[in-house]
Amino acid sequence: MRIPVPDEVLAAADLGRVHFVGIGGAGLSAIARIMALRGVAVSGSDDNETPFLDSLRELGVTCHHGYAASHLGDADTVVVTTAAREDNPEVVEAMRRGLRMLPRSAGLAAVMADQRVLAVAGTHGKTTTTSLLTVALQAADASPSYAVGGVLSATGRNADAGDSDLFVAEADESDGAFLVYDTHAAIVLNVEADHLDVWGTEEAYATAFEEFVDGIDPAGFCVLGVDDPGAARLARHHRERGGRVVTIGLDPTADLRAVDLRTVGTGTTFDVHRDGRLVGTVALQIPGRHYVVDALAALAMGLELGLPFADLAAGLGSFAGTRRRMEHIGEAGGIRVLDSYAHHPSEIAGDVDAARALAGDGRVVVCFQPHLVSRTRRLGAEMATALGAADEVVVMDVYVAREDADPAVTGALVAEAVPLPADRIAYVPGRTDVLAELVSRARPGDVVLMLGAGDITDLAPLLVDHLGTRGA
C-alpha cells in the first residue's frame, strides 16, 4: 500500500518509538538499524525470516514473526513497507489509533536529516555503486553513514551509522522515493524506462529523474553517465539549468573516463583519465564493463568531495562485492554457480558478459526468473535478446510481486523469444524441476548464472548441492 509522505518529515530523534511493518526487507531493515544505533527505540514485524533480522536482534530490536495489532505496543510512529496490504492488522491498528505513519522514503529521510546526502540513482546498478561509494569513502577515512539495498560483503550489513555528516543512500525511483530526499550530491548511472506500473509512461519516468536532479542542493553536484542515452540527456538538462555536472563513462566525451580495460583473473583493471590526462589506475576484484562504470561513478563522487585518488582507488580495489550481485555461491564438479539480482535487459546483458569473462573456455548457462508481470509484458523480448548471449538458457515462470498474475504473461514469453537453437533453451515453470534441468545441462568448466530479483536466489545453494551429488 502507498502511505503518503507528510508535509514535514521529522528527524528520527523526534519520532518517539518507531515500529516497522515489514522490517525484514532490505530498505526498512536498513532504516531500523541506523535508528537503533542512534538510540531510537525500534521494533518491527515481518512474515519472513530474512537475513537482515539477526543483526537487528543483536542490537536489541524486537522483531516479531508475523503480523498482529499487539505488536505495535506503545509505538508513536509506524513505518510501512509498500508491500503491506491495507488489511494488515498492524496497519489497521495504527490507523485506528491515529499514529504517525510513514512510507519507507520518509523513514529514510528521517535518519538522513541534517546530513549531507550522497544519493545513488538510476534504473540499474544502484546497489553495487552505493556499495562501492561506501567502501571508497571508508578507505578515505570519511566515515559515512550508509543504507544499501543489499549486504556489503565487507561488513555483512546493509546499513551503519558513521561518524561524519556524510550519508550514502541508494535512491530508489520505483515508488518515487528519491524525490523525498534532501540531496546534496547525486549519481545517476542510467535512465531506461522501468516501473511503468507506477509511472505510467516512459516520459513520466524520465521527468521524475529531471525533478530529482533539479532538487539537488545548489551547492552540490551530479555525477552522470554519458554511455547511457537517458543519463546523457539528463546531464544536458541539468547543465542547461546551471547545475554542476561531472560526466563519467567509457565514452571519450566523459569528464572522468575509464580507458584500457583489462581482465585480470576474476577482476578488471582500468586507467582513469580526467580531461584527457591520466589520474591513476584502479584494479577491481569484480568482472565486467558495467562494474567499471559503477566504480568510476563512485570515484568521481569521492574526488569531487576532495578526497585523495589513492585512498579511493584502494577502497574500490578492496570491494569484494555485494550479495546477489554476481555473488559466487559455490563450485561443484568443476562448475561454478553465481547468483545475481539482474532482472532488467541491460542488467542481464551486463552480467552475462561478465560471466563470459569468468568462464574463459567454458560455457555460460543461465537460469532466469522474470520479475513482475508488467515488466515481462513490456520487456520480455529484450530480456530474451540479452539471454541469447549465453550458451544454454533455462527460464522459470514470472515471479509475481505487487501485481496480480496474468495467465497470458508467463516465462514462456521470454523463453520462446531467446535467439538460440531450441535444444539450448528450456522453459521450466516449476521450481521443483529447475534444479534437475540445470544439472542435466551443466558440465565441467561451465559457469551457471542464476538471474532474477525473486526467490530464484534460494535455488543457487541447492544447485551447488545437487551438482556435488551428481553421479555419486
DSSP state string for 113-128? TTSEEEEEESSS-HHH
Range list for CATH 3.40.1190.10 in the chain:
115-318
Would you identify the CATH topology of the domain 115-318?
Answer: UDP-N-acetylmuramoyl-L-alanine:D-glutamate ligase (3.40.1190)
Q: Tell me: pLDDT of 99 over 60.
A: yes
Report how far residue 119's alpha carbon sits from residue 112's, in angstroms, rounded to the nearest whole number. 11
**Contact yes or no for 403/432 (Cβ under 8 A):** no
Q: What is the pLDDT of residue 235?
A: 95
- In the chain, the amino acid numbered 362 is G
Range list for CATH 3.40.50.720 in the chain:
12-107
Q: What is the pLDDT of residue 144?
A: 96
Q: What is the pLDDT of residue 300?
A: 98
**Contact yes or no for 209/177 (Cβ under 8 A):** no
**Contact yes or no for 82/57 (Cβ under 8 A):** no
pTM over 0.75: yes
Q: Tell me: pLDDT of 426 over 80.
A: yes
Report how far residue 328's alpha carbon sits from residue 315's, in angstroms, rounded to the nearest whole number. 20
Report how far residue 94's alpha carbon sits from residue 101's, in angstroms, rounded to the nearest whole number. 8
SS3 per-residue string spanning 236-294: HHHHHCCCCEEEEECCCCCCEEEEEEEEECCEEEEEEEECCEEEEEEEECCCCHHHHHH
Q: What is the mean pLDDT of residues 296-303?
A: 98
| Assigned CATH for 12-107 | 3.40.50.720
- In the chain, the amino acid numbered 407 is P
Answer positive or negative: Cα dihedral of 404, 405, 411, 414.
Answer: negative
Which range has the worst mean pLDDT, 131-145, 191-205, 348-362, 387-401? 191-205
Q: What is the mean pLDDT of residues 73-91?
A: 94
Which range has the worst mean pLDDT, 145-154, 223-232, 451-460? 145-154
Report how far residue 258's alpha carbon sits from residue 250's, in angstroms, rounded to the nearest whole number. 5
Which range has the worst mean pLDDT, 310-314, 345-349, 447-451? 345-349
For residue 211 the three cell numbers come to 525533478
H-type alpha helices, 59-199: 89-97, 104-111, 126-139, 196-199
- What's the distance, Cα to Cα, between the start and end of the chain in Å? 49
Q: What is the mean pLDDT of residues 146-173?
A: 86
CATH superfamily, domain 327-469, is Mur ligase, C-terminal domain (3.90.190.20)
* pLDDT tens string 1-25: 788 889 899 999 999 999 999 999 8
Range list for CATH 3.90.190.20 in the chain:
327-469
Q: Tell me: pLDDT of 150 over 80.
A: no
Q: What is the mean pLDDT of residues 205-211?
A: 89
The 256-264 sheet, strands edge to edge: 159-160, 145-147, 166-170, 116-121, 183-188, 221-225, 245-249, 256-264, 267-274, 277-284
Report how far residue 303's alpha carbon sits from residue 315's, in angstroms, rounded to the nearest whole number. 13
